[in-house]
Amino acid sequence: MHKTILKNYAKLLARVGLNVQKGQEVIIAAELDQPEFVAFVAEECYRAGAARVRVDWSHQPIQRLGAEYRSEEVLSEVPFWREEKLRGELRTLPARLYLDSADPDGLNGIDTEKYARALQARTRILKPYRDKMENKYQWCIAAVAGERWAKKVFPRATGSGIAQDKLWRAILSCSRSLEGNPMENWRRHNADLAARCEYLNSLGLSVLEYESSNGTNLRVGLLRDGVFAAGSERTLSGVEFNPNIPSEEVFTSPMRGEAEGVVYSTKPLSYQGQLIRNFFVRFERGRAVEVHASSGEALLKKVIEMDEGAAYLGECALVPYDSPVNRSRVLFYNTLFDENAACHLAFGRGFTNCVRGYEAFSEEQLHAKGINDSMIHVDFMIGNDDLHIDGVTQTGARYPIFRNGRWAF
Ligand code: ZN
d(CA 190, CA 282): 34
Nearest Cα neighbor of 140 from 66, 271, 44, 255 is 44
- For residues 218 and 342, the answer to whether their CB atoms sit within 8 Å is no
What number is the average pLDDT over the span 104-114? 85
Find the 344 Cα to ligand 1 centroid distance in Å. Answer: 7
Name all domains of the chain by residue range, CATH numbers in brackets. Answer: 3-174 (3.40.1830.10), 203-407 (no CATH)
Find the 337 Cα to ligand 1 centroid distance in Å. Answer: 10
d(CA 324, CA 61): 32
Place 333 in a pLDDT band, splitting at 50, 70 and 90: confident
d(CA 129, CA 363): 13
d(CA 285, CA 376): 20
d(CA 177, CA 187): 12
Find the 318 Cα to ligand 1 centroid distance in Å. Answer: 8
Find the 194 Cα to ligand 1 centroid distance in Å. Answer: 16
Find the 249 Cα to ligand 1 centroid distance in Å. Answer: 6
Nearest Cα neighbor of 11 from 157, 181, 232 is 181
Find the 388 Cα to ligand 1 centroid distance in Å. Answer: 18
d(CA 26, CA 53): 5
Rg value, the chain, Cα: 21
What does 62-87 look like in DSSP terms, one character per residue? Answer: HHHHHHHHS-HHHHH---HHHHHHHH
d(CA 375, CA 402): 31
pLDDT computed for residue 121 by the predictor: 92
Q: Summarize pLDDT for 143-182 with one digit per residue, the tens.
A: 999 999 999 999 999 877 999 999 999 999 999 999 999 9
Find the 160 Cα to ligand 1 centroid distance in Å. Answer: 34
Find the 317 Cα to ligand 1 centroid distance in Å. Answer: 5
Find the 170 Cα to ligand 1 centroid distance in Å. Answer: 19
d(CA 48, CA 144): 21
Find the 151 Cα to ligand 1 centroid distance in Å. Answer: 26
Find the 336 Cα to ligand 1 centroid distance in Å. Answer: 8
- Is 365 a residue whose pLDDT tops 90? yes
Find the 146 Cα to ligand 1 centroid distance in Å. Answer: 23
pLDDT computed for residue 353 by the predictor: 87
- Tell me the pLDDT of the chain averaged across its residues: 94
pLDDT computed for residue 274 by the predictor: 79
Q: Summarize pLDDT for 354-363 with one digit per residue, the tens.
A: 999 988 998 8
pLDDT computed for residue 356 by the predictor: 93
Q: Summarize pLDDT for 260-286 with one digit per residue, the tens.
A: 999 999 998 888 767 899 999 999 999
Find the 243 Cα to ligand 1 centroid distance in Å. Answer: 11
pTM score, whole prediction: 0.86
Which residue(s) pair with 378 in the sheet? 347
- The SS3 of residue 303 is helix
Place 138 in a pLDDT band, splitting at 50, 70 and 90: very high
Q: Summarize pLDDT for 51-86 with one digit per residue, the tens.
A: 999 999 999 999 999 999 999 999 999 999 999 999
d(CA 328, CA 156): 17
End-to-end CA distance of the chain: 38
| CB atoms inside a 10 Å sphere around CB 296 | 20
Using CA atoms of 350, 235, 95, 340 in order, give the dihedral in degrees to the nearest 10: 50
pLDDT computed for residue 112 by the predictor: 79
Q: Summarize pLDDT for 30-44 with one digit per residue, the tens.
A: 999 999 999 999 999
Sign of the C-alpha dihedral computed for residues 261, 264, 270 and 275 taken in this order: positive
Find the 315 Cα to ligand 1 centroid distance in Å. Answer: 7
Instruction: Name the residue type at position 330.
Output: V
| CB atoms inside a 10 Å sphere around CB 174 | 26
pLDDT computed for residue 1 by the predictor: 87
Find the 379 Cα to ligand 1 centroid distance in Å. Answer: 6
d(CA 193, CA 204): 18
Find the 152 Cα to ligand 1 centroid distance in Å. Answer: 23
